[in-house]
Structure formats: C-alpha cells, structure tokens
Amino acid sequence: MNTKQSPIKISATDANQRFSRLLAESEQGHEVVITRRGKPVARLQSIHQPKSETHDIGSPIDSGIPDFEIRRELIAYCRKMNDVGLNQGTSGNASARVSGGLLITPSGLDYERTEPVDIVKVDMEGKVLRGHRNPSSEWHFHCRVMAAKPKAGALLHTHSINATTLACLGRDIPPFHYMVAVGGGRDIRCAPYATFGTEKLADAVLEALEGRIACLMANHGMIVLGRDIDDAFKRAVEIETLAAQYLKALSIGKPQLLTVGEMNVVLEKFKSYSAWADPKR
C-alpha cells in the first residue's frame, strides 16, 4: 500500500515561525516544500524516510511510449559521447531505425535535459510521425543515409576534436593503419563541404559513404553507422582514435600506407566483425 503523503507547501516567512513544527512534520514522513513568492526554494525530507528509486532517463510512467528502450539508449549514448569527448554541448545527433521510420534526437536540446518523450519519430522523408519537438536539423542526411543503408540500425554524428580537425583540412583518413577498415573500406573519405541541414550535404554524405559505413564531413564532423547505437558509438571512438593517431603521424612525417592488397586482406578478416555492413549491400 502506498503511504506517501502530499508535500506541505509553506512560504518562507511562515517557515521561519513554524520551523520546529515543520521538523516534526518531516520526521513523520511528510515532504515539506518551502516557497518564496510562490516558487519552491527548499525542501525538508526526513533522513529516515526511504529514498524512492531514481531513473536517470525517463520514468516508469514513460514506459508506455513506443520504442521506449531505444529512446533511452539514444539519449544515454548521446550523453556518453559528450562525457568521453566525442562531442560537445548540443552539437552532434543520433538516430535509430524502428518500425515505420527513425527515432532521432531533437534539435537544440541539451542531452542532459532530454527525456524519452523528447525523441522525435520521423518517416524516411523526414515527416514527423510522433513528437512535440523539432527533429535534429540534420534529419536530411539521417533519413537519406538510413534509407540507402537498409542494414544499418543506427547513425551517430559527432564533432569530435581530431576527426573534425582532419575534416577542416578536407583530408580523408588513408590506410595508414589497418583499423581504418572499421569504416567499411580501405579509407575513410571526407565529403565536400555543404551547409548543415541541407539536401546538398545529404548528397555529399551519400557519395562519401558509397561502400562505407563512416565518413568525415568537410569543416563539420564525423558520421558513423552501426548495427545499433552501441555499435555506432564504438566505431566512432575507434575512428576518433585513428584521427588522433594520423594527426600525430603527420606531425612527424609522411605515414607509411598499407597497399590495396594488404587492406583487402584486412577487410576479409573484418567480415565477421562487420557482417551486417557488407559494402556490396
């Protein structure tokens, strides 16, 4: 049986006069909310009162939202990409494939404040099917890429420091290291510059992703596909590491590149690692 009682609300002036009584109310299990000019400014809660279970993302009442767990995952990985330095602030975005379209992060909302209900569902043309917020301004390339890559389950876009530095130089990441194959091919291309949130950028990205599952975008950032958002995140971490290594190598001299044949051997070995992302799909 739920015995939790409603909070007691009281003005700061009255609180000064009734503090002893308020302590007693708190000890009896009441949550006491103190207000000033009608706005909450403090709360008293007994240290003996059991703490209720907290939910970092969403709450039990949200669980009726369609694709609730996928929404939670998108938010969790967007927070994580900021925590580990793959992204900063509200830049970057993510999407995941669901029945009937995509779930995509909302435009301009801090990831720490984003809740499952804020995630927007769109169809492959970018039409909003469910949601009270605007989808990411980059919905164009999310929709176009996911429609063109039917085996991909998620797309992650970041403004990571090293990958973006190379993108601002307009540089591809060549086969200086065998792990470049995590991008699905013998190199990681850099798409030419186009204004963010435009069809022109989506066109450029699609071309750079031909036979690939990752690319850079000139003067912008990185895009990575995955079987799911966890897979996309792990690949993004790997590509950001490669970008850092390549920049370090360039600072010393000209890196030695692997041959086409050597990279073909690596790609063959990587088939089990990226079976879902066959470039011939």
Active site residues: 138
**Token couple for 138:** 């980059």
**Contact by Cβ (8 Å): 71, 77:** no
How buried is residue 153: exposed, middle or buried, by Cβ count under 10 Å (0-12/13-18/19+)? buried
Calpha distance 266→154 (Å, rounded) = 24
**Token couple for 62:** 């949200």
DSSP 93: E
Q: Which amino acid is at 232?
A: A
Calpha distance 82→159 (Å, rounded) = 10
Calpha distance 83→86 (Å, rounded) = 8
**Residue 197, Ramachandran bin (φ over 0: left; ψ between -120 and 50: alpha; else beta):** left
Calpha distance 259→256 (Å, rounded) = 10
Going edge to edge, which strands form the sheet with 32-36?
Answer: 8-11, 32-36, 39-44
The residues with which 215 forms a beta bridge, in sequence order, are 223
**Token couple for 64:** 């009726």
**Residue 126, Ramachandran bin (φ over 0: left; ψ between -120 and 50: alpha; else beta):** left
**Token couple for 111:** 């990831």
